Homo-oligomer: A and B are copies of this chain.
Amino acid sequence: MFRHSSELQFHAKPERPDALFAAKLQELVGGQFGEMTVMMQYLWQGWNCRVPGKYKDMIMDIGTEEIGHVEMLVTMMARLLEGAPSETQAEAAAANPALAAVLGGQNVQHAIVTGGAATPTNSQGVPWNAGYIVASGSLLTDFRSNVAAEAQSRLQTARVYGMTDDPGVKDMLQFNLARDTFHQQQWLLGIEQLIEDGLVDSGIEDSLSEEEKDFAARTFYSFHEGSTAGEGRWAQGATLVGEGEIAFEQGLPLADDVNQVPAPDPLLYSTYDGSLGTPEPGTAGGAYAQGGKNLLSKAKDALTPDE
């Protein structure tokens, strides 16, 4: 359960309105790596965390903080949009060609849809969607996603920072930059903690490692004549998991399998010249129907003894 207080976590007071900058700031609100993404990503990870105690508490703490970050940005946006021109285009532009330029760069949904406030979209007006987030149940892979999200979010904040000289906006962004630094650290330390607690073996996701093809886990394949990729650490030296050395090889087909797909079922009217044999409806469906038949006979067997 959640509670709310009217105070913002950090102040969000621009010195003056700036509708053009507000249009850009949308990327940090509702973009792929905006605050809505980390808020929703951490809440979902926290709710679905299977490990009671410090891990679940930690994820929920940060998810809860991030709701407040969306709040800060949305508040900042409404203040940046104060008095943004909604007047008749022609009159305003006639009096002021520089204003015409401003009008051209403004996000018109800020006037038409929200009445002077942020929209839950990115800087291009694409609505935020849950396809941006991930909560996999594996804390290692989730934390890897989280480090990446914070790094990208911080990079974008730094780029946006250079696009304003409003001291109030910069002040808030300095806080956001710091939190993104802190959160990168935290998720990296979370991975260290997972290792220390014995919940994972290494920082590399390796479930079912006993099944994987060993040779392919330690070979760099190049598909590019004259590639210099072999000069990097990633193509030489010890592997990070398992044993042995990384090899650098030209990528060649590793098996004798040409990309030909089988003859189609005639009922699907796909184009076919008969060269792979003559499928008939009964035959084409047969392989599978056979599967169905097998299921049924197994089911009948299962019915006979008291299962």
Residue of B nearest to A295 (CB): B98
A5 touching B256 in the complex, CB below 8 Å, given contacts A91-B165, A178-B214? no
What is the interface residue range for chain A against chain B?
35 or more
Instruction: Say yes or no: A115 contacts B159, CB within 8 Å.
Output: yes
Chain B residues with CB under 8 A of A75: 47, 257, 259, 261
- A207 contacts which chain B residues (CB < 8 A)? 154-155, 158, 269
Q: Given the known inter-chain contacts A60-B224, A126-B125, please indicate yes or no for A87 contacting B162, CB distance below 8 A.
A: yes
A223 → chain B, closest Cβ, in Å? Answer: 4
Given the complex, which residues of B lie within 8 Å of A263, measured CB to CB? 50, 82
CB-CB contacts of A259-272 with B at 8 A, as 1s and 0s? 11111110111111
Q: When the two chains form their complex, are residues A93 and B97 in contact, meaning their CB atoms are under 8 A apart?
A: no
Contact, CB under 8 Å: B258 / A8? yes
Q: Is the CB of A67 within 8 A of B67?
A: yes
Closest residue of chain B to A302 (Cβ to Cβ) is B95
Within the complex, the shortest CB–CB distance from A211 to chain B, in Å, comes to 5
Would you give 20 A-B contacts (Cβ < 8 Å), ordered by A?
A8-B253, A50-B261, A50-B264, A54-B232, A79-B262, A87-B162, A89-B164, A94-B302, A97-B302, A99-B296, A112-B159, A125-B125, A141-B148, A144-B152, A170-B211, A177-B211, A181-B206, A193-B234, A199-B271, A199-B272
The reply to whether B223 and A112 form a contact with Cβ atoms under 8 Å apart is no
For the complex, give the distance between the alpha carbons of A151 and B104 in Å. Answer: 28
